Amino acid sequence: MTFVALALQMGHELKDTLYDYMTRLRQLHDPFYGETRDRFLHILRFLHFADSSQRPDEGDEYDQLWKLSTVFDKLSEAYAKFYNPLRHLAVDEVTVKFLGRVIFRQYIPKKRKCFGIKIYKLCDESGYTYDMRVYLGRDSHSATDDMTATHANVRHLTSRVEGLGHKIFMDKFFSSQGLFDDLDRHKINLCGRVRPNRRDMPSDFGPKQPKLKRGDVRVRTRGGLTALVWKER
């Protein structure tokens, strides 16, 4: 438990290297960590959360996260159990920096953390993580004829807030008319940017349509769904 407490505290007090937290140098020494370096590094080296002899078969249902699934599931359950999220929520992706060797590590050159593990998260306006899901590569197993993999991930993340009156915001990577219709049926309000070439978007929203002049607004509605585009500058 002391190891866990130290690891959590390190996330709030960033230093250049792991050794800097427990150094004896007067200018860097922190009494909170004490003289625990050797013991901490020993536990860190051998820390393990699964029995390797129980490795699952690599079939169609193979879980690439099986070594951490128990801990990850318990964290996700605890996030929802001990906190009621605020009214405004956001679905987004975050890249956790990771330089180790796992098959689902992502390389995204345009981001500051170009190497890492991508996680889809549902957070409230205070920044609290209410639910999360690790991206393990191709999500084709989550897709169906009527639902894309991205749609399925958002559907999974929002399952705990159905019918509670929350408002969820997302960017154009997630937004689609099919997703908005689906979550509206489960009494979840949504708002987000959307790519004009998404399926079922209004035909006069595309880039080949007449350009808007400054100050122009174009609106299309269907039931409780509204699509809007405007020209600011």
pLDDT 10s per residue in the chain (233 long)? 889 899 989 888 888 888 889 888 888 888 888 878 889 999 999 998 888 888 887 766 677 888 888 888 898 899 989 999 999 999 999 888 888 888 888 887 877 777 888 899 999 999 899 999 888 876 655 656 667 888 888 999 999 999 888 999 999 999 988 899 999 888 899 999 988 888 888 877 776 777 788 888 889 898 889 998 888 87
Whether this prediction's pTM lies above 0.85 is answered by no
Residue 3 lies in a domain: yes
Structure tokens at 8: 């959590």
Residue 2 lies in a domain: yes
Among the listed residues 189, 78, 95, the one whose alpha carbon sits nearest the alpha carbon of residue 179: 189
**135, 120 Cβ separation under 8 angstroms:** yes
Kindly state whether residue 197 falls inside one of the protein's structural domains: no
pLDDT of residue 96: 86
Q: Is residue 224 part of a domain?
A: yes
The answer to whether 135 touches 93, Cβ cutoff 8 Å, is yes
What pLDDT does residue 108 have?
A: 77
Residue 167 lies in a domain: no
Which residue, 26, 48, 70, sits at the end of a domain? 48
At residue 25, the pLDDT reads 86
What six digits make up the tokens of 190?
A: 């949504």
Asked whether the beta carbons of 191 and 169 are under 8 A apart, the reply is yes
Q: What is the predicted pLDDT for the residue at 142?
A: 61
In a domain, 77, yes or no: no
- Tell which of 33, 48, 63 closes a domain: 48
Per-residue confidence (pLDDT) for residue 114, from 0 to 100: 79
Place of tokens 């099986």: 66
pLDDT in tens, 69-111: 888 889 889 998 999 999 999 999 988 888 888 888 888 787 7
Kindly state the tokens that stand for 127: 């920044």
Q: Which domain holds residue 15?
A: 1-48
Instruction: Supply the pLDDT for residue 116.
Output: 87
H helices of 88-162, in order, are 149-157
How high is the pLDDT of residue 123?
Answer: 95
Q: Is residue 12 part of a domain?
A: yes
Structural domain count, the chain: 2
Q: Tell me, yes or no, whether 109 lies in a domain.
A: no
